Amino acid sequence: MSNDERWTDEEAVLERPRRGRTWLAVAFVLVVIAGLYAAAALYFADRVPAETRIGGIAIGGQTPAEAQDTLERELSDEEARPVTVTIDGKDVELTPGESGLSYDYASSVEGLTGFSLNPLDLWNHVRGGVEREVEVEVDEESLASAVDEQTASFDKKAVEGKVTLEGTTVKKTASKPGLTVDREAVVESIAQEWPQQRSFDAPTSKPAPKLSQAEIDRFTKDELEPLVSGPVEVRTTDPQGEGDAKDISFSVPAEQLAGAISIKNTDGKLSATIDESKVAQAVLSAGSSSGLFREARDAGVVHRGGSRFDVTPSSTGLALKEDGIGAKAAAAMKKKGDQRRIDVESKQSQPEVTTAEAKKTLPKEQISTFTTYLPSTSGVRADNIRLAARTLNGAYVAPGQTFSLNERLGQRTAAKGYGKAGVIHGGRLANDYGGGISQLSTTLFNAVFFSGAKIEEFHPHSFYISRYPEGREATISWPNVDNRFTNDTGAGILISASVSGNEVTVTFHGRKVYDEVKAGKSARRNISQPKKITDDSKDCVPQSPAPGFTVDITRTFIKDGRTVKTSSFTTRYIPQDDVTCTNA
């Protein structure tokens, strides 16, 4: 072996330890670098990349918790900024937090942190520069509920116009379209565009009314206004005798004709209907008011004293023939100017009681009379009775006729001379016009009772009044509480009524059917006791106590000494309560 070869071997022996140390050093360095790399990766794993901005807010280098806090602090005001929805030119606001709209801060920073040995991820952490929008959360159910609540008042149904008549004045209400908000579209737009967009226009539709304004205007001008454009003239002739006829004309005011018009809307089409019966009534009423016609007058009977009775003659009247009059007038209403006239026939109207009938059934004698007594001959109550007696006096009831005291007296009013005096309302004393005339009604009822005529209607007082016969008394009140009888005696009945001193007397003159009519009365039963009442009202009227009871009344008809028939009725009285007034 040469010396060079030995040297090389020695160097090789020496070199091997050096190479081992070098590799150890390299390995050490690599381990250090790896450790540093891992440490860096671990450090950056819990940090948001540098220069990261979410929704424009810098959160680089922060932990996720810090980043969420930063975003919430910086963006909470923006998050709460109202959402404006414009509906038909008007704005409403939605509060995001109450409408299911919110920022999702946790999701916004999600994925920005986390351990990774990928050099690219580490490089991205170091280099940074992440830009993204804040994540949002939309609860569409809550959003839809909020939109419904804020926009519900904007929905409007279409307004159907109408046409009405006030007298002859035509009143028009305009038709208007409705408004419907498309809430689903609003919710969808907000869910997709919020928070980048915070103002939204709500889509709407406008449902049209069935009745158009054009139809209202057409109907008013072409159909309705002509109907009430003026009066209708009525022409007729008074047939006073051959060659002696007299022309008559009068006008039916448009205001009266208008009351016969009704307006109908059929699926957006207007039409006017004229009630021919009402038009006819308007014509007859206008004719009556004109003074050109006269009512037939019944024959009457007057008592000349003793058994002498005279007849006041009947007379015919003049009236329009009613057949077809409504149709003619309705047709004239549709015309213009001078064409608004009709020609109708007139006729003589006949009295219900003719002179011949009155003479044939002339009263001959007194058939009944009855007297009650006034508690006082002075005061409003007595004055009312005197006035009513004067009105009743002289009434003539022909055979078969039904007499109504309410019809004879009419409504009792101050204008007729009646004053306020005691009446009974609801079991209590009160004051009203005509108070007291129930005494005249009771006196009349008993005259009917003993005449034998047919009793049609009577109403006892609610509690018993001691000056009247038990069970045989009749109150009266306008317009429904009446005292009526039918003259079935076969002859006329002339009624005499008078007040003399404290006596109220009603007498029937006619022809007797029965020798006598007797009254019978049962003992009282079902007796009930009054209550004590203290009343401080200003209209209180004091009452003395009296018991309530039930009593049966019999009516016996006697002729030629024997009973030919009987009838009966039952009268029930409530207690008259003991009322003390404390309003003084």
Q: Which helix (H) or strand (E) holds 273?
A: strand 269-274
pTM equals 0.58
- Residue 102: band (very low, low, confident or very high) from pLDDT cuts 50, 70, 90: very high
Count CB neighbours of 415 within 10 A: 8
What CA–CA distance (Å, rounded) separates 390 from 411?
Answer: 15
- Per-residue pLDDT tens for 1-31? 445 555 455 555 556 666 666 667 656 656 5
Task: Residue 168: name the closest of 252, 232, 251, 253 by CA.
Answer: 253
Nearest to 272 by CA among 304, 225, 232: 225
Residue type for 184, please? E
* Strands across the sheet containing 57-58: 57-58, 53-54, 131-132
Q: What distance in Å separates the CA atoms of residue 148 and residue 140, rounded to the nearest whole number?
A: 12
* H/E segment holding residue 58: strand 57-58
Which run of H or of E encompasses 264? strand 261-266
Q: What is the mean pLDDT of the chain?
A: 88
pLDDT (tens digit per residue) in 523-564:
999 999 999 989 888 888 888 899 999 999 999 999 999 999
- Classified as helix, coil or strand, 382 is helix
Quick one: pLDDT at residue 548?
A: 93
Q: Give the separation between CA 385 and CA 412, rounded to whole angstroms.
A: 11
pLDDT at 393: 96
Structure tokens at 159: 């307004």
What is the average pLDDT across 364-370? 96
pLDDT digits (tens, 9 = 90+) for 313-339: 999 889 899 999 999 999 999 998 889
The CA-atom distances, in angstroms, between 268 and each of 166, 176, 190 are 22, 13, 39
Quote the crossing angle between the two packed helices 325-333 and 276-290, to the nearest 10°: 100
**Rounded to an integer, what distance in angstroms lies between the CA atom of residue 354 and that of residue 315?**
8
Short-list 293, 294, 282, CA closest to 332:
282
Average pLDDT over residues 466-489: 94
- Whether the predicted pLDDT of 428 surpasses 90: no
Question: Is the pLDDT score of 251 beyond 80?
Answer: yes
